[in-house]
Structure 1
């Protein structure tokens, strides 16, 4: 069972594309290393790592106008607010 507030690597990539951010820009905004963003985006599904760090990435994208829809196991996606 997947926790509802998690996001997938595909949603991270799509969210960045919507707001035209590079991995470096997302890393800076979220306060994490760019290697973390690249690692999160390099897998399919929910990235492995600390939940706190994934939440920082999610919150950063949300603050920039990305809305996460669905759940990781039920039609995950993104759209602009």
Structure 2
């Protein structure tokens, strides 16, 4: 299933992902990946989505979603989570 990717533990991957986030031109203060899971061949990242008091998305929510999508694209071709 993971013939072309390297195994990595979730903690190490989150460290690497958060470096990418902090160095990205669209970084927002407080943006951070706090969880990662394997869904098939895709790594799914999660973290704070900056919802408002009613739990609705804010302008920052789109930026966070796009960042997590970027992380999935960058890292899913390189890594799979260690079991």
Per the TM superposition, whether the score is higher than 0.5 is no
Higher helix share: 1
Bigger CA radius of gyration = 2
For normalisation by structure 1, the TM-score amounts to 0.30
